[in-house]
Structure 1
Amino acid sequence: MSAIGRPISLGLVALVVLTVAGAAGATVLYQDSAQQLRSQNDALRSETAQLTDRLDRTRTELRTVRQRLNETRAQLNTRTEDVDQVAGTLNRTERQLNTTEAQLSRTRTRLANAEQNVTRLERDVSDLEDRRDELEAQVSDLRERRDELESTVSDLRSRVDTLETDLSDTEDRIDELEVALAERDDRVDALESNVTDLRDDLDRKNRTIADLEDDVERLDIVLRNRNATVRTLEARLDDRNATIRDLESDLDELCSDSANQDEAACEGYG
């Protein structure tokens, strides 16, 4: 019993010690927790008081804000009417602006066309200036040509005077030539009379030649007929010669036979 009781007593002592220590610790922990709760409760009360004050101030500010909001709403209603009026004015202004923009677009188009016309006119002016320079150069050339022509005209006038003198001399020469021409006309008349006689003689000779040509044609016809007769006779002669050659060939064959060699017709053949 003593041996068993000793360990039990130690366990109980340990349990009691632990129980007492736990109770003391729990008491200390409870006291700390209670102190913390009191501190937190005080802090919460202080914070609640502050929040209550802030809530009161907020409510006061809210009433002030609501009053201001009501005033603002009244002003807003007034401003809304003003805005409606301004909106109407703005709509009219917008329509006017659209009309003005359309006019501006047309004006821009006209301006672009005008700029194109200006560009084209500038090109035309440049071309005309170039043409003017060319014409001025041509005028200068023509003036030089005019001076040359005037000099040429002066030379030609001098030449005309010389030619008029030559013409006077030529007219005198023409008079002399007309006299000579009259003499030649007389000679031509005489020659024409001789030509007439020669033509008559030529006509007679031409008629004689025509008669001779007719005779030649008749002789040609006779000659052609005779040539045809000759060709016919030659053809007949060729046929007879061929017949003779055939007969001689046949006679040679007959006379080559020993039985016919003694015949009188085979003399000289075989």
Structure 2
Amino acid sequence: MSSIGRSLNLGLVALVVLLTAGTVGATMFYQHSVDTLDQQNEQLREQNEALETDLSQTRQNLSVANEELANLNDSLERTRGDVSQVSTNLEDTEARLDSTQTELESTRAVLTQTEEELSTSRNRIDALVADLNDRRAIQERLETELSTLERVNEDLESANDNLESQIDNLETDVELLGAEIDRLEQRVDRLESDLQSACAAIEGDKPPACDGV
């Protein structure tokens, strides 16, 4: 009978050793998985912070671009007003020129004086025309810059939308990782409970795996 008892005890010890080895292996695999998930979670946090920084900078750039666009619009309106005033002055000058030419035909006594006035008027016309051309060139340049800024604004808005979409995706990934961590923690609890049950079932000396259980 004692020989049979010893055989049974040895078999039970061997079974417990196998169960303990499997539990230790599962625990090490769980620890490795948790470490890997922690590293991935930290990387996601760093990426999320970087994306938030880029989003803030993009929004600042967009605000600056909008201010510059408003300033250009104001400058364009002032330029258009100046062009209108120049056109009015030109019309007034042309009217005075017609009057001068009529006076020239009606009186030859003041021919010299009239010619001088005519030359002066023509110089003024040339100056006004040159100024008008310059203002038109400025207007065209401002309109080109306005179109460029509008395109930049659209690009910034598109980049902003893309960054917000990436942030949403990262937040979803973080939630999924949190759920996976919860599941693994529940599995650890079950493995610890199984280890406690196995150690409690051992009679006599317990293996080192049961220390502290």
TM-score (norm 1): 0.30
Which structure: larger Rg?
1
Q: TM-score, normalised by structure 2?
A: 0.37
Structure with the bigger RCO (C-alpha within 8 Å, sep 6+) is 2
